Amino acid sequence: MSKAHPLILIADDHTIVRRGFKNLMALRLPQVKVEEVADLAALRERLARTPRPDLLVLDLQFPDGNGMDILPKLCSDPLQPPVLVYSMNPARIHGTKTMKMGAMGYVSKEAAEEDVVTAVNAVLAGRSYLNPDLALRTARASNTVEVDTNPLERLSARELMVLDHLLTGAGVKDVAEKLGLGVSTVGTYKIRIYEKLGVSNILDLQTMVQLHRKAVH
């Protein structure tokens, strides 16, 4: 760590997640101070004030929007802190995309505590944190001719967000309300998802996702 008492801001809409993260930091990194916000509106307001956090730990889904939308702008602004994405979304799918957007690291909420601490330490020290699953996949991809073997990687960040909601059984209208999008827009995303994955119904979609999210590669 470059500072004796770095400030971390965690943005997550679940109280239990914020509390668990703060407790972990208090136990493993007691020199760190942690602040918290529960939605994107509060996040924007906090980032506009000083002192600036030394690290932003960011979830991807909030009641008032999603982290994917603000990630590129945050990461391209030199006045904003480096971002460590902390999400339930699969690292193999969302991790690569968020790091291409500028995030310094990606950690699943299912990761071991040691991995979370390692990720925080790395980003606070100015280093990227490559999730073990992503590191393994990157190493294997470099030794193979066919890199794009997972059809889920054909989906855009927004399509992935829509996909996650569709998999819960939510209809187009419900997804539109949750993501703050128009019904016709979500309908278009749904059509694109089906076309890119080569499926025609929700059962085939669920099967396709289960198959490729469980794949080693």
Fold of the domain spanning 151-213? Arc Repressor Mutant, subunit A (1.10.10)
The two structure tokens encoding residue 143:
């030794």
**Residue with the two structure tokens 């309908």:** 187
Calculate mean pLDDT across residues 36-41: 96
For residues 48 and 93, the model is more confident at 48
What integer best gives the mean pLDDT of the chain? 85
The two structure tokens encoding residue 80:
């904003």
| Whole-model pTM over 0.85 | no
> Does the pLDDT of residue 213 top 70, yes or no?
no
Q: Are 119 and 83 in contact, with CB atoms under 8 Å apart?
A: no
Q: Where are the domains of the chain?
A: 7-139, 151-213
The two structure tokens encoding residue 109:
């909420």
Can you tell me the distance from the alpha carbon of 151 to that of 172, in angstroms, rounded to the nearest whole number? 22
174 residue type, one letter:
D
**Within its chain, how far is the Cα of 41 from the centroid?**
18
Q: Which residues are CB-neighbours of 42 under 8 A, at least 6 positions away?
A: 11
Q: Which CATH class is domain 7-139?
A: alpha beta
Order across the sheet with 105-108: list the strands: 33-37, 7-11, 55-58, 83-87, 105-108
pLDDT band at 134 (very low <50, low <70, confident <90, very high): low
Can you tell me the distance from the alpha carbon of 159 to that of 176, in angstroms, rounded to the nearest whole number? 12
pLDDT band at 141 (very low <50, low <70, confident <90, very high): very low
